[in-house]
Amino acid sequence: MNSSSKILIIDDEASLRQTLARILQQAGFEVTTAQDGEQGLSFMQTTSFELVFMDIRMPGMPGLEVLEFVRSQHPNLPVVLFTAQPDLNSAVEALRRGATDYLLKPLKPETIIERARTILAAQQKDRRRREIQAHIELLQAELKALDSENVGSLPLYSPTIPQTDRYLKRGALVLDTHARRVSVDERAVSLAAASFDFLLVLARHAPKVVDYKTLVTEAQGYQVDAREAQELSKWHIHNIRQAIEPDPRAPIYLFNVRGIGYRLMAD
């Protein structure tokens, strides 16, 4: 990961903008701040950012509206929303619209830094994966062209990529860890990136119970206390159930173990 990655912070509270900027700059990141959604979108027209931190509740253009515009113009740009007023509905809506994560204020410096590093490292890996895949596709096209011309007497073979760790299957559920997609009974379902990470952790541990803190730590790459972990998990579990359960009110795959965590029972 490049420590000088460009990060945009959008928040109407000047003191919080300055604090977050200072924290991330001291960690080696290049930071730009915007006082509202309109200014943030204006900055995006002239600068290529690799990560956005944004308040979900701001005067003028709301955070969810800004998020929707960012997704349409910059589909691969990760956006982390935060709020001082946790609300399950707004969290689920943010994830549905493509938010990478949803954090609660007050924001801890170590949480911000670790989340930024985790997201940017994942972005770098995905970017490199896309570059390799594009190169492979070019090679395959070239091999196909050579084959069609019957050049040489030896058969030509397209390169292949080992896929032993790509798919994680749990009964009717199949998780594609490269494309970050989920299918249930061979039917593709829509799931936000952050929620995919939570489902992946549950699938890897299935059918064991995963406690709240472990779930957040492994899915999001940072540690929070038990109460925060439980609240964060609830939002993602709700989103996952909406995607994979025939009836989210009567789950058959994903179960809550009261006061402890969640368990995936798909086999």
Model confidence over 69-93: pLDDT tens digits? 898 888 888 999 888 776 666 777 7
CA atoms of 136 and 138, how far apart (whole Å): 5
The winner for highest mean pLDDT among 80-94, 126-140, 172-186, 197-211 is 197-211
How many Å apart are CA 41 and CA 202, to the nearest integer?
A: 36
Summarize the confidence of residues 50-73 as an average pLDDT.
89
- Asked whether residue 8 carries a pLDDT value surpassing 90, the answer given is yes
State yes or no: cis peptide before 106, omega within 30 of 0.
yes
What is the pLDDT at residue 102?
83
Question: Structural domains in the chain?
Answer: 6-121 (3.40.50.2300), 167-264 (1.10.10.10)
Return mean pLDDT, the chain.
83
- Which of these ranges, 64-73, 149-158, 255-264, has the smallest mean pLDDT? 149-158
**CA separation for the pair 104, 86 (Å, rounded):** 7
pLDDT for residue 147 is more than 70: no
The answer to whether residues 39 and 24 touch, using CB atoms and an 8 Å cutoff, is no
> Which residue did the predictor score with more confidence, 162 or 223?
223
Structure confidence at residue 162 (pLDDT): 37
Give residue 139's pLDDT band: very low, low, confident or very high (50, 70, 90): confident
- Is the peptide bond between 86 and the residue preceding it cis, with omega within 30 degrees of 0? no
Under DSSP, the state recorded for 188 is E
Q: In what order do the strands lie in the sheet with 167-170?
A: 167-170, 173-176, 181-184, 187-189
Q: How confident is the model at residue 152 (pLDDT cuts 50, 70, 90)?
A: very low
More confident residue, 40 or 129: 40
**Whether the predicted pLDDT of 197 surpasses 70:** yes
**Measuring CA to CA, which residue among 179, 230, 227, 228 is closest to residue 200?**
179
Cα 134 to Cα 125, 129, 137, 178: the distances in Å are: 14, 9, 5, 14
Q: What is the mean pLDDT of residues 42-49?
A: 91
Q: What per-residue confidence (pLDDT) applies to 27?
A: 93
Look at residue 87 in the predicted model and tell me its pLDDT: 64
Q: How far apart are the first and last CA of the chain?
A: 37
Residue 161 has pLDDT above 70, yes or no: no
Q: How far apart are CA 151 and CA 164, in angstroms?
A: 33
Q: Residue 96: pLDDT above 90?
A: no
Bigger pLDDT: 47 vs 159: 47
Q: How many Å apart are CA 193 and CA 101, to the nearest integer?
A: 8
Please answer whether residues 168 and 187 qualify as being in contact, where contact means their C-beta atoms are separated by less than 8 angstroms. no
Which is higher by pLDDT, 15 or 150? 15
What is residue 151's predicted lDDT score, i.e. its pLDDT?
43
